Amino acid sequence: MARSKFRKYVLDPFLGLDIVQWVFAVPVSIIMWLIFATCCTHVRNKKVLKEYRKKPAVFVVWHGRTMIPSVVMALYRIRSCAVTSRNKDGRLMAKIQHMFGARAIFGSTSSGAVSVLREGVRVLTQKKRPIVMCPDGPSGPSLHLQDGAMYFAKMANVPIIPVCFASSKSWFQTRWDRYLITLPFSKNIMDVGEPIFIKSKVKTPGFEQERKKIENICVKQMRDLDKIFNLMRVEEGLTATEFKRKMREAKKLEKQGKK
């Protein structure tokens, strides 16, 4: 109990301070660049990145697969806006993405949904800049394409472009999204999918059918990449809350087994 109170009232507020997050974000971005420099990275379908470098589009990247795309999109000088949540983790991620040239749009499906949708559409239609977002963020369900990307694409009449990567040497973090960290001297493959346009007049249930179709494309993209390097199978439909519950139950069972 004492540990949880310390985390809630001391550690979390401290880690939420802007200055602390910047102190963390700068070295993290440098480490990402250094790791990338040691790797051999092959980008599939480069022509799409080049075509939409300065054109409006919605790039969707699974929450657990942002490391290599962040670096590659910076190398291609894609001046994007990244949709991120307002919580502590989201603000930290925004600072890291800022180091790669992406401006933050704060909001999520659970908080500030209307404002982020309005700002995102403005960026796409007026500023003509691409948006990058994690369609299963900020807390799942994992590998589930939420409606946000669909609404952006439909309202701004721009394509959704799936992006994913896999690495030969990788470490999966123990999190709901199984965040993949590329290790030094790895072989990476980053796949850029073909642009997918949403019909402007599509409505329910056609909207859900379109959403599910794009979700299947994104999931298949990741599964196909992971098979190349024989990576672990990432679970579908797992939320951050459910993952924490499972971890607590596993620790409880482990303690009971030791008695």
The percent of residues above 90 in pLDDT, for the chain, comes to 68
pLDDT at 259: 60
Between these two residues, 253 and 232, which has the higher pLDDT value? 232
pLDDT at 69: 97
The percent of residues above 70 in pLDDT, for the chain, comes to 93
pLDDT over 80 at 46, yes or no: yes
Q: What angle do CA 81, 82, 86 make, to 5 degrees?
A: 125
Between these two residues, 178 and 253, which has the higher pLDDT value? 178
pLDDT at 10: 63
pLDDT at 58: 97
Q: Which of 8-22, 76-90, 119-133 has the highest mean pLDDT?
A: 119-133
**In which domain, by residue range, is 13 found?**
2-258
Average pLDDT, rounded, for the chain:
90
Burial (Cβ within 10 Å: 0-12, 13-18, ≥19) of residue 69: buried
pLDDT at 1: 45
- Span 49-74, mean pLDDT? 95
Q: For residue range 196-246, what is the model confidence (pLDDT) as tens digits?
A: 998 777 777 788 999 999 999 999 999 999 999 999 999 999 999 999 999
Task: For residue 25, give Cα distances in angstroms to 45, 81, 139.
Answer: 30, 18, 21
Question: Based on the structure, what is the number of domains in the chain?
Answer: 1
pLDDT at 18: 86
Q: For residue range 91-149, what is the model confidence (pLDDT) as tens digits?
A: 889 999 999 999 998 876 555 677 888 899 999 999 899 999 999 988 899 999 999 99
pLDDT over 50 at 182, yes or no: yes
Which CATH number is 221's domain given?
Answer: 3.40.1130
pLDDT at 254: 76
